[in-house]
Each structure stands twice: as C-alpha cells, then as structure tokens.
Structure 1
Amino acid sequence: MRLVRAVPALLGTAILLYGMLGLLGASGPSPLGRWLLVVVVGWLAVDAVLTPVVIAAGRLLRRLLPDRPGDRPGRRGAVRVLVGAAAAVSGVLTLVALPLVDGGGRDASVPSALPLDYGRGLVLLLAAGWLGVGVAVAVLLRRR
C-alpha cells in the first residue's frame, strides 16, 4: 500500500519541481509576480468563497436527505451519498467550465480558438449527470 501512495506523490513532486524550474527560468515580464497573484487570489477564493458554499450545501443536503429508515445511527444513506457526490462533481465541473463559458480568450480573427458553445455543453453534461443520479436514486428507492 505504501508504494501505491508513494508513486503518485513522487510523480506529483517531480511535476511540481519541473513547473517551478520553468517558472523561475522563464524570460519576459515577471511571470513569477503573475503566478503569485494567481495563487493568492485562488487561495483566497477557495478559503473565502468556495469552502463556505460547500459546507452550506452539505448541511442543506443533510437536512433535505435524512438517513434511510432502518440505517444504523450515523451511517449515511446511499441516496445522500449519491446526491452529495453529484453535487460535488457538478460544482467542480462548473468551476472548470466557467472560463470557457465566459469566452475569455476568444478572438474573432482565430476561428479555431474556443469554437464550441461551452455553455450548452456544460448544461448538457450537468443534465446527463443528474439524470443518471435520479435513475440511480429511483432504483434504490424502488428496491426498498
């Protein structure tokens, strides 16, 4: 089991070091300053915005989706786990897709730059995911 954890940790560390060396060796107008700005803003966004939203959503889900009848106390029901996982994946997918939906970087003179309707794609992916969760929840509830 140690090897299973050590290999990804070593790989991630090597990738991080490679990126840092590239950043420090880059020429041009202060990429280190821009990088630090992105890291600090990202860190603040996660700690000040994203974390409270995730905690509030989790508490709301806990109230809306109580434990299944007959479950041992403290054991989470399968419905709550499915809905919680779908909500987490939806949130991450939305965060990743927002810059594409916004169209930042789109240039009319380069038709191949961001050529798709990313907003529609995001909606379709979210709808397909939640449809799958709905079917799984319906099957679970019907089995009871």
Structure 2
Amino acid sequence: MRNANVLRYVLGGAGLALTGIGAWQLAVLPHAPAVPLWLAGAVVLHDGVIAPLVLAVGLLVAARPARGVLRGALIVMGGVTLVTLPLLVRPGEPPNPSALPLPYGRNLAVVLAAVAVTAGALLLVRRRRARPQPRDADDA
C-alpha cells in the first residue's frame, strides 16, 4: 500500500472518530437541540449570503485594472473583520471585564479605514508612476 493511501485511511478514520465523538456529545448535552439549529443557520448564512456576496465582489474586482491591490485590501479587511466579529456580536457583558476593555466597533472602523486609505495611496502612487513623464523643451 502506498504512503498516500495509508495517510488517507488514517485521516479518514480520525475524521470518523471525531464525528462520532461530536455526535455522542450532541446526544448527552442538555442544550443539544440548539446546536444543530445554530449549525443550520450558519450554513444558510454562509451559502445564502456570504458566498454570493464574496463572488459578486470578486467579479467586480476582477474587471478592475488594479485588481491586485483591491484584492489584497479586501482580504485584509475581511480577515480583520472576521477576527473582530465575535467580539462585536457577543451578547451581554463579558465574564472577564478586561476581555473587552476597548470600543471594538470604533477600532474596527479605524483599521478598515486605514487599510482603505493605504490601498488608495498605493493605487495613486502606481498610477503616477505609470503615467508618461512630459519631456522638457531643453531635452529636444
């Protein structure tokens, strides 16, 4: 048996074991019915809202001449938002008061604005460098 097949079987077995552990946990937890409902909501949100939105933005960006800078800025903005989102949408007070001592909504807006301004400045610099320089009359 080749090494790739052995690895495939080991990883498949580990996946089945973890799935079994998860199913067992769902069966014994007192709030188990809420978990599949939450998972179904996450699938609907991802497949019905987030994925089509990302595809639409990708199509719009692909037609732009500076798509590399735009893609980079959008990836950074999406990653920062994804990391900050759990802190923003968590209901109630945090159990540890030092966990959320700062206004994360405002700080997220500041970081997103900084990324947008940096990407805009980079696009302006690239556009100025690509513009042909006018020749002086003395050079002719």
User: Which of the five TM-score ranges fits, normalised by the shorter chain?
Assistant: 0.5 to 0.7
Q: Which string of whole-angstrom CA distances, capped at 9 and with x for unpartnered residues, describes residues 54-111 of structure 1?
A: 1222233345x2x3xxxxxxxxxxx21211231233234324423322452425x853
Q: Which runs of 5+ in 1 are unaligned?
A: 1-5, 68-78
Alignment length (residue pairs):
120
Per-residue deviation, residues 32-58 of structure 1 (Å, max 9, x unmatched): x43322322111111100112112222
Identity across matched positions, percent: 34
1:48 aligns with 2:48: yes
Contact 1:97–1:122 (CA under 8 A) maintained in structure 2: yes
| Contact preservation (8 Å) 1:101, 1:117 | no
AA paired with 1:41? G
Distance 1:89 1:52 in 2: 19
For 1:95 and 1:16, locate their aligned partners in 2 and report how far apart those are by CA, in whole Å: 29
Tell me: CA distance 1:30–1:135, structure 2 relative to 1, closer, same or farther (3 Å): same
- 2:70 matched residue in structure 1: 83
CA contact (8 A) 1:101 1:118 kept: yes
Residue range with higher mean Cα deviation, 22-31 or 54-63:
22-31
Matched letter for residue 114 of structure 1: L
Tell me which residue corresponds to 1:130: 116
Looking at structure 2, the residues matched to 56 and 22 of structure 1 have their Cα atoms a distance apart, in angstroms, of 35
The secondary structure found in structure 2 opposite 1:61 is: helix
Q: How far apart are the structure 1 equivalents of 2:125 and 2:76?
A: 21
Q: Deviations over 1:104-137 (max 9, x none)?
A: 2425x85334222101220121122222212322
Q: How does 1:1-144 map to 2 (within 5 A)?
A: 21=21, 24-25=24-25, 28-31=29-32, 33-63=33-63, 65=64, 67=65, 79-107=66-94, 110-144=96-130
**1:71 paired residue number:** none
- Give the Cα separation in 2 of the matches to 1:125 and 1:23: 40
**Further displaced range: 38-47 or 82-91:** 82-91
SS at match of 1:127: helix
- Bigger Rg over Cα: 2
Gaps of 5+ in 2: 1-6, 131-140
